Each structure stands twice: as structure tokens, then as C-alpha cells.
Amino acid sequence: MRIGILGLGRIGAFHAETLSGLDAVESLVVADPFADAAKAAAERFGAEVADSPEALLAAGVDGLVVAAATDAHPALILAGVEAGVPVFCEKPVARTMSEGVEVLKAVQGSDVPIQIGYNRRFDAGFAAARAAVQAGELGTLHTVRCTTLDPAPPSAAYIAASGGIFRDCSVHDFDIIRWVTGREVAEVYAVGGNRGADYIRAAGDADTTGAILTLDDGTIAVVSNSRHNKRGYDVRMELHGFADSIAVGLDDKLPLRSVEPGASFPSGTPHDFFMDRFTDAYRAELTAFTEVVAGTRPSPCTVEDALEAGWIAEACTLSLHEHRPVTPAEVRQG
């Protein structure tokens, strides 16, 4: 099949490399307003270059991968759907929830599939955790702990456009909690602090947060995030039930140093970047998209799914600012 890629920045170039290695993908067409980015990808992966998203769609593609900057997502998703081309779009659906709701309304009733890029759904560890919960191996689930810690803060420009740590970072934890547990979030209470880079405080954002999510069956989920985790990129989930307890991300590359005498675990080089931590997950995610394009599976992460994680991020943002518990229903629009 022939896949078009819009946006050849950090993640777009990485997806181009992954796609060029998939058996199902015969050729790539790429476009980016930053012509050098498109040209570099074309040279590296033997892709054709189109001058614009319109030209790329007119060149005839079987599937469209949108890895452009977030503010371009809505228009590019809709352009793909209007052309009848299945779309994979990086998270989030849009810069704001109201724009995301507009996208949902515009595509409702269309049979063109859209897959949003919540890559953790394709990680072997998270998939095994979901299977264990579904099989009842943990008994009654009572506690989930979910962690995403970045080695260093992103640039000031990135922070200013990110919408804040809950919408930018914790949203991956919120999506995976829903997906692994199969439950919805009933209420959140969030706290945050800022003792690092001044530009994060100046942007009205927090560099470190904690959120307690009460799920609709009473399970308590604790989400921990920070932009300052020098030891590495730490993504983990622990699930505790009446019958058993399991962990995702508890491997030799876990960026944590045990101070127990005699303990040698973990002994590997710590993960230091999301692309290294989730290389296999990104490959599985894009392989799934080729199956969506081929019509052999439905979208594994719909616009509705992505918006649900977004409402939880909105609720946490409000909770942090107003120091009170908030329900996703309170912030939901549309």
C-alpha cells in the first residue's frame, strides 16, 4: 500500500522510518511546509515529495499519517476523511477540546476510519496488563499507580504551546488507565508544584504533578508526572488487586536505583527517551494502522477514545487551579 505522511518533524521522521520498514507498505509520499524536512525524509526513505497536503492526497494514497504540529491536526484529519482515505493522527486530536469536539461532530456518520496515536496501547507490557485484568487474574482491582517522568523539560516554546502537563504528558497515563482497566474516571483531584525551570512557572504550568482518579467501580488510580527525572524516561504502571499485583515497565532498563544492600536490579542502561522506550510499540501501532487501511480491523483508538482522555486532562487542570475534586462531566462540552 501507499502511505502519505504529513509532518516530518521529530515524530513524523521516526514514523517514516518505521513505515518504510513494514512489509505492507510499498511506497511513501511526504509533505511538510518546512521543505528541508520533507526532502531529508524523501532521501532517507525513498519517498516521493508532495508540495502540500492537497497535492499529497491528489497523488493517490491508501492511508494518511498526520504527524504535523498539533494545531494542524483538525484540518488534516478532515482533509483525509473527505478524500475517503483512512487517517492515523498523532495525539492530540486538536489543540483544544472544543476543536476536538468539532472534529468528532464532522466525522460522525463517516465510515472512513480514524486512529489516534496513543502508542502505549501497543506496548507489550501494557497489553499484558490489560489481558490480566480482563482474565480476572488480579481479582477485584483496588489500586493503580501510573507514572510518566521525563528526563528533562522540553523547550520554553514547546511548554507555551503544550496546553500544560496534564494535556501534554499525563494524557497518556489517562488513556492507558481507561484502556487497561476498562473503567471510566468518575472524579479527579490534582496537585502540582514548580521548583525547576522558571519558564514552566511563567507559562502557568506545573513541572511536577500528582492526580488521584477515582474510577467508576471505586478503583483508585494515582498518576505521577514530572518534567525533571534526571535518571531517565520512566513509564510504569502498577496494578494491585485482591488476588495479585503486577507491574508494567519493571525491567532492567527501569530508571530507578535500588538502595537495598545487595540488590543489583535494575542493572541495564536506563531508558532516556520515549522513542527508545516505545520503539516496538510505535511499530505495532503503525502495523495496526496498515490493517485498518486494509480493512481487516477497526480503529484501535478512535477520536472518541482520545477525547475521553482529554476530558480527564481538562478535569485535572481545573482541579489543580481550584484545589478541589472535579468530575469529567463538569468540564465536558458538546
Ligand X SMILES: NC(=O)c1ccc[n+]([C@@H]2O[C@H](COP(=O)([O-])OP(=O)(O)OC[C@H]3O[C@@H](n4cnc5c(N)ncnc54)[C@H](O)[C@@H]3O)[C@@H](O)[C@H]2O)c1
Q: Cβ(303)–Cβ(114) under 8 Å?
A: yes
- For position 70 contacting ligand X by CB under 6 A, the verdict is yes
- Exactly one of 21, 26, 34, 134 binds ligand X (CB under 6 A); that residue is 34
Number of residues that bind ligand X (CB under 6 A): 23
- For position 50 contacting ligand X by CB under 6 A, the verdict is no
The closest alpha carbon to 90, from 102, 76, 79, 101, belongs to 76
Nearer to ligand X, 49 or 326 (CB): 49
Give the CA distances from residue 5 to residues 39, 153, 214, 286, 303, in Å, rounded to whole numbers and listed in that order. 13, 28, 39, 12, 19
Closest CB to ligand X belongs to which residue? 9
Give me the 119-158 binding string for ligand X, x by CB under 6 A, dash otherwise.
Answer: x---------------------------------------
User: Tell me, what amino acid is at 238?
Assistant: E
Please, which of residues 279-308 interact with ligand X by CB under 6 A? none
Give the CA distances from residue 245 to residues 70, 204, 241, 254, in Å, rounded to whole numbers and listed in that order. 37, 37, 6, 18
Identify which range of 19-27, 69-77, 231-239, 262-270 contacts ligand X by CB under 6 A.
69-77
3-class SS of residue 92: coil
- Exactly one of 6, 41, 254, 307 binds ligand X (CB under 6 A); that residue is 6
Identify which range of 18-26, 68-76, 226-234, 312-320 contacts ligand X by CB under 6 A.
68-76
Q: Dihedral, CA atoms, 93, 234, 326, 304, nearest 10 degrees?
A: 30
Question: At CA 171, angle to CA 77 and CA 169, rounded to 5?
Answer: 105
Closest separation between CB of residue 273 and ligand X, Å?
10
**Interface with ligand X by CB under 6 A: which residues?**
6-12, 31-34, 37, 53, 67-70, 72, 90-91, 117, 119, 274
